[in-house]
Amino acid sequence: MPDRPSIPFSEPPYLAGLPSPYYSPSHLKWQKACRAFIDENLNQYALDWEREEKVPPEVFQKFAAANMLIPTLPAPLPVEWLKRLGVHDILGAVKVEDWDYLHTAIYTDEMSRSGLSGPGASLTTGMSYGVPPIIKFGSQDLQERFLPDLLLGKKRICIAITEPDAGSDVANIQTAAVKTDDGKHYIVNGAKKWITNGIWSAYATMAVRTSGPGPGGLSLLMVPLLGQAGVSMRPLKCSGQASGGTTYIELDDVHVPVSNLIGQEGMGMKYIMTNFNHERLIIAVGVTRGARVALAAAFEYCLKREAFGMTLMDQPVVRHRLAKCGAMLESQWAWIEQFVYQMTKLSKAEADVELGGLTALAKAQAGIVLDECARCAVLLFGGNGYTKTGQGEIVERIYRDVPGARIPGGSEDVLLDLSVRQLVKNYKNKTKLLERPRGSSKL
């Protein structure tokens, strides 16, 4: 049991002293070490850095030196590579070969415990989404050239998919990569927009069009950014996630070696969709923690704020509003835990098929839950929740983060539709396997 009672809804049930079937001693040991490091080096400063719209560069270096960017990679971790680089455990708490998706979820939850998505995203987005395609699909030569610096945090990377005219419609990407006559380089022209971490990144794992229209014309390419001729980058001001380094990238005749191709030409759409599953699950975990921070802040405020001669908590309508959001929040978290546990039991190939559609649904639902909890918190804080400073600052900022939860990684309506289409596809495929081929009856 915790040393002291926690504010209702402020912690996942397993950290509030309740039993759980999911967490082993390894997970609990990791959670304690993880929280201590992240609270010391990130969460206690997160609100200040969000106000300043920038996390100091030395924070990234501190996380890199402690190998605390590696936990955002998909599980299982790239053990062979990590051991080659001298990384055998994380914070002395978990051996890299023992790492599973529950360890990843704990890390993501702790990185989001300030309630603000910007500070954590400024550190982890590139490692989380830009590095995995190199590990999974990159040639040995590509891995040897880039992974040592990227895994150890000596260089930064971003994932660059979205364009001014192609967001969730990934198949409509127009940034072109055309081979030179000698076949040694791609010449890249186009633009990428809303790229988290881009402004600080040496490289981008970039979706480009290497052939005709549609998904079959897409490829993934490692594109140099900082200091590269033909690349210009500028920060974008968004309503939330102010410290995340959201970037607009323009590419004008950028020469990229053909050897920087990730995997095979024309396979980019498949690689992107596989990568999206990890991205959406990570977003769902972090966004659900953001909803928890907002709702817990409102709960605590309602215990002390007085109106009409009584505390807000003494008002039935307030308790009703908190209860509805609490039910949504804890239902979402229970689903997330179940989801992550399933990831520990399925192979990557199985999970992509069985959980791909549901991952999209979980991410979409996380945004819906955050919207409800953040709106509830702002309303219960009243004028304080509408003010950028003071008692309600954190809920006001979380509310501005809501669109950043519901749009990136696949916009909400697109993901709701995708989830059902994927479930229908799986059902039809499984049903077809049960059908007896024509002429096979012996009757």
DSSP 263-278: S-TT-HHHHHHHHHHH
H helical segments located in 220-304: 268-304
pLDDT for the residue 437: 66
Question: Which class for 407: exposed (0-12), middle (13-18), buried (19 or more C-beta within 10 A)?
Answer: middle
Q: What is the mean pLDDT of residues 374-390?
A: 96
pLDDT for the residue 427: 95
pLDDT for the residue 53: 95
Q: What is the mean pLDDT of residues 414-421?
A: 95
pLDDT confidence tier of residue 440, bands split at 50, 70 and 90:
low
- The first and second tokens of residue 442, run together, are 């012996």
pLDDT reading at 245 higher than 80: yes
Q: Which residue has the tokens 């039991």?
A: 345
Q: What is the mean pLDDT of residues 206-216?
A: 94
- CA–CA gap between residue 64 and residue 134 (Å, rounded): 19
pLDDT reading at 187 higher than 90: yes
Q: Where are the beta strands (DSSP E) in 196-244?
A: 203-209, 218-224, 231-235
The tens digit of pLDDT for each residue in 422-433 reads 999 999 999 988
Task: Name the helix (H) or strand (E) containing 311.
Answer: strand 310-311
The tens digit of pLDDT for each residue in 357-381 reads 999 999 999 999 999 999 999 999 9
Report yes or no: 291 and 370 within 8 Å, Cβ to Cβ.
Answer: yes
Question: Is the backbone peptide bond immediately before 316 cis, with ω within 30 degrees of 0?
Answer: no
Q: What is the mean pLDDT of residues 306-319?
A: 96
247 dihedral zone (left: phi>0; alpha: psi -120 to 50; beta): beta
Q: What is the mean pLDDT of residues 223-250?
A: 96
pLDDT reading at 321 higher than 80: yes
Give the pTM: 0.94
pLDDT reading at 441 higher than 90: no
Phi and psi, residue 113, nearest 5°: -75, -10
Which residue, 251, 257, 273, is CA-closest to 422?
Answer: 273
Report yes or no: 183 and 258 within 8 Å, Cβ to Cβ.
Answer: yes
pLDDT reading at 443 higher than 70: no
The tens digit of pLDDT for each residue in 108-137 reads 999 999 999 999 999 999 999 999 999 999
Lowest mean pLDDT among 242-251, 344-353, 356-365: 344-353
pLDDT confidence tier of residue 167, bands split at 50, 70 and 90:
confident
Share of the chain above pLDDT 90, in %: 91
